[in-house]
Structure 1
Amino acid sequence: MRLGPGPFGGPPAGSPGGGRADHVDDRKVDDRKKASGAQATDGRRPSVNHTGVPKGRATATSSRPRRSTAGGRPGGPVAGALPWLAAAAVVAVQIPYPLLAAGGSGRAWLTAAQVLAFFTASASHAARRRGWGFTARYLTLAVALGLLVEAAGLRTGWPFGRYAYTDGLGPEIVGVPVIIPLAWSMMAYPALLFGRHAATAVSGTGVAVRAVTALVGGMLLAGWDLFLDPRMIAEGFWAWAPNDGPAVNGIPLTNTAGWLVVGALLVAVVDRVPGPTRGRGTAGGAIDVEHAGAAGPPAAGWPAGDGVPLLLVCWTYGSWLLACVAFFGQPLVALTGGVGMGLPLLLAAVGGSRRWRTRARAAAPARPQARQELPDATSPDPPR
């Protein structure tokens, strides 16, 4: 066995410091690395840090400001403030409404301004919170379905009953004022969110969750119309055909049934639109990511980022109640609308409370069981 130095001047083969016949000194390897780095610098090749990202280039964690957030959502202070500004405009426009003369042009203009401001608040919030893709699909579906059912109702009397619009609401499309489909879409978005919040109390398949979402959302829309329709009739914006069946506050009951069916259908269709805050449940149904906790199931409480829809719905409910009682002299409208719109709001509140209690019990530490004392066999009088 050869014990002399290797052919490359290394330690002898087979010695403790020896290796293969092609052993290279570590110092030579270091020299080659330095030379390679200098060559890459001279050749203007970007050096790579320990994370594998070229040095000197912007990365995803760079402090450079971005115009949009993940999922195609608008970013920046303007996009964040726009929903709140539009919601404030809704409140500001509605305050002087009952102070103006009934049937005058002032209330007509304020009605259009309310719809446009509410529509802007819903659309901008949906874009900010759920992305442009969701917003474009939701608006297309809501406006198209609203226009379709209104045009069909004017011509056939189905599904609401026989009615006709006057010229008090401005420009029309196929006989339907332009602001009517916008009104459908502005309220469909918060109705969807309230329906989803109520559905967080459902522990079942995706079908059950979607059914509760659609039903509660449809109830919210139908309850809102119990306020809206009598007031718009009094303002002369549309009129119902006489003797069109049983009615409440001059509005046929078929109208309320139609609103419930169409509203539930609209919410169910929009609920199928994918969005960045809409995940997949374990049973194949969708759940809201903003409702999900660390373990996956929906969490309690109204999502922090959805304050604008919550504010608008609560303001709409409270302002209608106050106006009907204090300004319009319609206590029965306040009663029917208060019950009709208040019921789905109550269901949403109960759903969130029930989910909170469930998660609180699951998160609570288990109580230690009391230790049971065993009888002493040597005791002269053991317990019986």
Structure 2
Amino acid sequence: MRLGPDSFGGPPAGSPSGGRADHVQENADHVQEKRRPGGARAAGDRHPDVGQADAPTGRATATSSRRGRATPMGSQRGRTMPGGPPGGRVAGALPWLAAGAVVAVQIPYPLLAAGGTGRAWLTAAQVLAFFTASVSHAAHRRGWGFTARYLTLTIVLGLVAEVVGLRTGWPFGRYAYTNGLGPEIGGVPVIIPLAWSMMAYPALLFGRHAATTIRGPGPAGQAVTALVGGTLLAGWDLFLDPRMVAEGFWAWAPSDGPGLNGIPLTNTAGWLVVGTVLVAVLDRLPDPTRGHAGNVAGDGVAGWPPGDRVPLCLVWWTYGSWLLACVAFFGQPLVALAGGIGMGLPLLLATGGGPLRWRPLPARRPGTRARRTPHGPTDPDPTDPDPPR
């Protein structure tokens, strides 16, 4: 990008007025009329597209990284998205490779013997692959600053919540881990905080997307982000907990209050509280992609930003695979029903919104009257001396 003044003494490229192509064109034509014999170009010779490079008149351009290609000021081409992907193609491919590993490891899981070491190893492998996908995607998409904070918060808060739960029975209830999931810290298997971390990242993104479809920006949107993200985590546990108990990885104390599929309802409430707080804290982290035009709405599924497709695919795969496995392989249709509803609702809100979808009112030009509809005017103008009736 040229940062100095252009050949006609216009503003530096990249300045606030450097992207106003029409203003630069008018100045350029005026100066050209004085400097060149024959005067300025005719108005009809002007390039019809605002912001296009126009070398003969010296319109301000920027050079993109693609072999000197000229890009008009004000265009999104040639600009690196804030917090954009570092590391090139390898870093961009790693999240997809890790997501593929999640799928590859989960497929043979129901075919192995229940309670055996094979399923224990595959459980750990699933967590590590999913964790790698989330971390590598966060680093590639949002930079290492965000990723370091996200990892610290999710792993520490997840571990603290589990240790407190084991020692006090709050907020989840009274439970204990067996020795089936490998090394432990304070009685908590190491892969458990990694599981909190791996799922908290997509829960944050789903919550944010739900906020844009339901409430839009502002404090209400932040509340929607936290609640939808926390509900997604709690709904995921409606699948997870009954299956892990059936595999013998942990056990609940008997007579610990009313339950669902053998799991105390206090556990679901605890997941909802901890998950909501965790997503709310993550949502406060500095994120260089927040507010960028390409992240508000994309051309992907239900307006999902194209750069965040890895978390989208992983969560939907997790949801669908749990439903299929519980019905077809594990013989737990009630678990499929509970998890299908509990996890499906936040997914619906995040990827569709339906009748709750937030739509800003369209801007109306000053001096124009409201458009009539069969139900009355859509946007009455209080300054109109003759309002529609």
TM-score normalised by length of structure 1: 0.71
Shift in Å, 1:355:
4.9
Query: How much has 1:205 moved relative to structure 2?
Result: 6.2
The answer on 1:195 being equivalent to 2:203 is no
Residue-by-residue CA offset, 1:114-160 (whole Å, 9 max, x unaligned):
00000000000011111111111001100000000000000000000
2:294 aligns with 290
The one-letter code sitting in structure 2 at the alignment partner of 1:310 is: L
- 1:351 to partner: Cα distance: 2.9
TM-aligned CA distance change 1:205 to 1:315, over 3 Å: closer
> What's the C-alpha RMSD, in Å, of the aligned pairs?
3.0
Cα pair distance change 1:364/1:92, threshold 3 Å = farther
2:11 alignment partner in structure 1: none
What residue ranges of structure 2 are gaps of 5+ in the alignment? Answer: 1-57, 69-79, 374-389
> Is 1:69–1:75's contact at 8 Å kept on the other side of the alignment?
no
Structure 1 partner of 2:317? 315
Partner of 2:249: 237
Specify the alignment match of 1:116 in structure 2: 128
1:327 to 2:329 alignment: yes
CA distance in 1, matches of 2:304, 2:243: 31
Structure 1 residue 346: Cα displacement? 1.3
Provide the secondary structure at the position in 1 that maps to 2:251. strand
Paired amino acid for 1:290: G
Q: 1:263 aligns with which of 258, 272, 275?
A: 275
Contact 2:98 2:132 in 1 (8 A): yes
Residue 44 of structure 2 corresponds to which residue in structure 1? Answer: none
Q: Are 2:83 and 2:141, in contact at CA under 8 Å, matched by a contact in 1?
A: no
Instruction: Pick closer, same or farther for the CA change 1:129–1:206 going to 2, 3 Å.
Output: same
Alpha carbons of structure 1 residues 128 and 204: separation in structure 2 relative to 1, 3 Å:
closer
> Is 1:88 paired with 2:127?
no
The percent of aligned pairs where both chains have the same amino acid is 76
1:172 aligns with: 184
Matched residue, 2:8:
none
| Cα distance change, pair 103–70 in 1 and its aligned pair in 2 (3 A) | same
The equivalent of 2:143 in structure 1 is 131
Report SS of the residue matched to 2:171: coil
Secondary structure of residue in 2 paired with 1:200: helix
Aligned with residue 252 of structure 1, among 264, 275, 280: 264
User: For residues 215 and 185 of structure 2, what CA distance do their matches in structure 1 show?
Assistant: 44
Q: Secondary structure, in 3 states, of the residue corresponding to 2:280?
A: helix
Q: Distance in 1 between matches of 2:284 and 2:67?
A: 36
Residue 223 of structure 1 pairs with residue 227 of structure 2: no
Query: TM-score normalized by structure 2?
Result: 0.70
Shift, 1:348, TM fit: 1.3
Q: Which amino acid aligns with 2:109?
A: Y
Task: Give matches, 1:48-67, under 5 Å.
Answer: 61=65
- Structure 1 residue 349: deviation in Å? 2.8
1:76 and 1:293 map into 2 onto residues whose CA distance is 24
**Residue pair 1:300, 1:352 contacting (<8 A) in 2 also:** no
Q: What is the alpha-carbon distance in structure 1 between the residues aligned to residue 136 and residue 282 of structure 2?
A: 16
- SS state of the match for residue 74, structure 1? coil
Amino acid at match of 1:144: V
